[in-house]
Amino acid sequence: MGDRMQAMAQAVRGLCAQPSTSLIQTTAIYETAPWVGSGGDPNQPWYLNAMVAIETPLLPEALLTLCQHQETQQGRQPAVERQHNGPRVLDVDILWCDAFPAYQSPTLTLPHPRFATRACTLVPLLEHWGEWVHPTTGQTLLQLHQALPSVEPVRLHSVAPWGALLPVG
């Protein structure tokens, strides 16, 4: 799978290299157990999870294309070539877009339809966005996290290496 930390950092750099796009906030990196119940390999390494906030003029579909390009650039294989929920070097998801609070297309739904039900996304998001209100549920991220039926293990891994990309001031 290669160096996952390096792949994450390169993807963030690639996103921020776009014209008029800048990194606004980052979280630490967390580890979560693989999704073995839905086709994952129980012997694969734990997933690494981190969240970044960017400011960009890109429309949601263009941002999705850019995210998928970053995945490919870092060596991610298409799902048809790998086991569903199996090992992958990188998975870049768009969780929400302030400019498009409720967005639906054949290829993208915002907010992301499952992020509010997963500790692997909610725990990192709580670092900076605990009071953000989900446009569909009307609940804050903190409330969504507290409502999880069971919390999958989420461990702090490290500080994100791309913090140097944050604007100074």
Is 88 marked active-site?
A: yes
Tens digit of pLDDT for each residue in 58-77? Answer: 999 999 999 999 999 888 76
Q: Kindly state the tokens that stand for 86.
A: 């199996």
What contacts 32, CB < 8 A, 6 or more positions away? 46, 47, 49, 119, 120, 152, 153, 154, 155
Dist. CA 130–CA 82, nearest whole Å? 34
Dist. CA 103–CA 63, nearest whole Å? 13
Q: If DSSP codes are grouped into helix, strand and coil, which group holds residue 54?
A: strand
Q: What pLDDT score was predicted for residue 1?
A: 46
Q: What pTM, to 2 d.p., does this model score?
A: 0.85
Range of the domain at 100: 4-165
Q: What pLDDT score was predicted for residue 70?
A: 93
Is 98 marked active-site?
A: no
Q: State how many domains the chain has.
A: 1
Residue 20's CATH number: 3.30.70.560
Q: If DSSP codes are grouped into helix, strand and coil, which group holds residue 154?
A: strand
Q: Which of 76, 98, 114, 155 is catalytic?
A: 76
Q: Which of 93, 98, 118, 155 is catalytic?
A: 93
Residue % of the chain over a pLDDT of 90: 60
Q: If DSSP codes are grouped into helix, strand and coil, which group holds residue 144?
A: helix
Is 91 marked active-site?
A: yes
